[in-house]
Amino acid sequence: MALSQATTRAIAKPGRESPFLNQNMRAFWLFLLSLGIFLLAWEMGARSGLFAKGMPTASKTLEEFWWWITHPFFDNGPNDLGIGWNLLISLRRVAIGYILASLVAVPLGILIGISPVAYKAFNPYVQLLKPVSPLAWLPLGLYILRDSEQTGVFIIFISSIWPTLINTAFGVANVDKDYLDVANTLGASKLRTIVKVIIPAALPNIVSGLRISMGIAWLVIVAAEMLLGTGLGYFIWNEWNNLYIPNILVAIFIIGLVGLLLDSLFAALEKFVAFGRNS
């Protein structure tokens, strides 16, 4: 008894941590420290002219950032639009293109995944088109649609269709055989098996595909908008033409932030459909 007590105490002691020193807090302090050093180095570097000419200081950039987020919605014509409007324009294009792509990719992925023949037959298209840079579609989109707004949506559509399609087909084709055996031994119809077993079983894969697609859509919209006018991408392009670097940095930060939010949304959704499965 005495021995066991002694051992417990010996083990328990190093485990006792102050609330300021547990892993998360230490990571947070390190984050703050590195951020401070980064901002300080930036500020001093810019002031002493260490960087390229015209490079703004950290304080100037933060000041601009504060101004833009406190004045998000103003409209003085297409070349002087609040960042909030630009953000909404970009989000709207992404939403339309992405939802259309998902509406095509998920059902098509399920069809392709269910039939091994279809899987093999359509795989060449997918594999060939998947690695094509979305911007390569831009001239084609402009030529066919003759409208920059629709072309933006088209680019998002074509670039966010593949990850969802591939992941859905993969998930459906690789449903655990035990689940199918269960449905089979019960004599479930093909339709019931698909709706009640195959789709729910493939849902984690489908959501992962949707998450990757969303990431790509958000990457692509900025690049596409530089060539199309309005939206966050155009905002950056416009500020480049104005040669005003602080606003470009502000836009980069906002793009990153929104991308992070969208991704967390899908991460939460992934967790929601996982039910203890880790994929």
Partner 1 sequence: MNLASLNGVAPVDSAGLSSQLSIRNVTKVFPGKKGLFKKLSGKTSQDFVAIEDISMEIEPNTFVSIIGPSGCGKSTLLGMIAGLMPITGGEILLNGAPIIGPGPDRGMVFQNYALMPWMTVDENIRFAVETVHPKMSPKAINRVIKENIQLVGLEGAERKHPHELSGGMRQRVGIARALAINPQILLMDEPFGALDALTRGFLQDEIERIWEQQRKTVIMITHSIEEALLLSDRIVMMTRGPAARIDEILEAPFPRPRNRETIVQHPAYAALKAEMESHLFRETRAVEAARIRGK
The residues binding partner 1 (CB under 8 A) are 176, 178-179, 181-188, 192, 196-197, 200-201, 203, 273, 275-277
Distance CA 264, CA 221 (A): 19
Distance CA 218, CA 101 (A): 14
Minimum distance between the CB of residue 172 and partner 1, rounded to whole angstroms? 15
Q: Which is nearer to partner 1, 147 or 176 (CB)?
A: 176
Minimum distance between the CB of residue 187 and partner 1, rounded to whole angstroms? 5
Minimum distance between the CB of residue 163 and partner 1, rounded to whole angstroms? 22
Minimum distance between the CB of residue 195 and partner 1, rounded to whole angstroms? 11
Minimum distance between the CB of residue 209 and partner 1, rounded to whole angstroms? 17
Please answer whether residues 113 and 172 qualify as being in contact, where contact means their C-beta atoms are separated by less than 8 angstroms.
Answer: yes
Q: Which is nearer to partner 1, 1 or 186 (CB)?
A: 186
Minimum distance between the CB of residue 203 and partner 1, rounded to whole angstroms? 7
Distance CA 276, CA 279 (A): 9
Minimum distance between the CB of residue 206 and partner 1, rounded to whole angstroms? 12
Q: Which is nearer to partner 1, 92 or 196 (CB)?
A: 196
Q: Which is nearer to partner 1, 183 or 254 (CB)?
A: 183
Q: What is the torsional sign of CA 142, 145, 149, 151? A: negative
Q: Which is nearer to partner 1, 147 or 181 (CB)?
A: 181
Question: Given phi > 0 = left and psi -120 to 50 = alpha, else beta, which region is 239?
Answer: alpha
Minimum distance between the CB of residue 182 and partner 1, rounded to whole angstroms? 5
Q: Which is nearer to partner 1, 75 or 178 (CB)?
A: 178
Distance CA 192, CA 179 (A): 13
Q: Which is nearer to partner 1, 175 or 255 (CB)?
A: 175
Q: Which is nearer to partner 1, 99 or 182 (CB)?
A: 182
Angle at which helices 138-145 and 148-173 cross, to 10°? 120
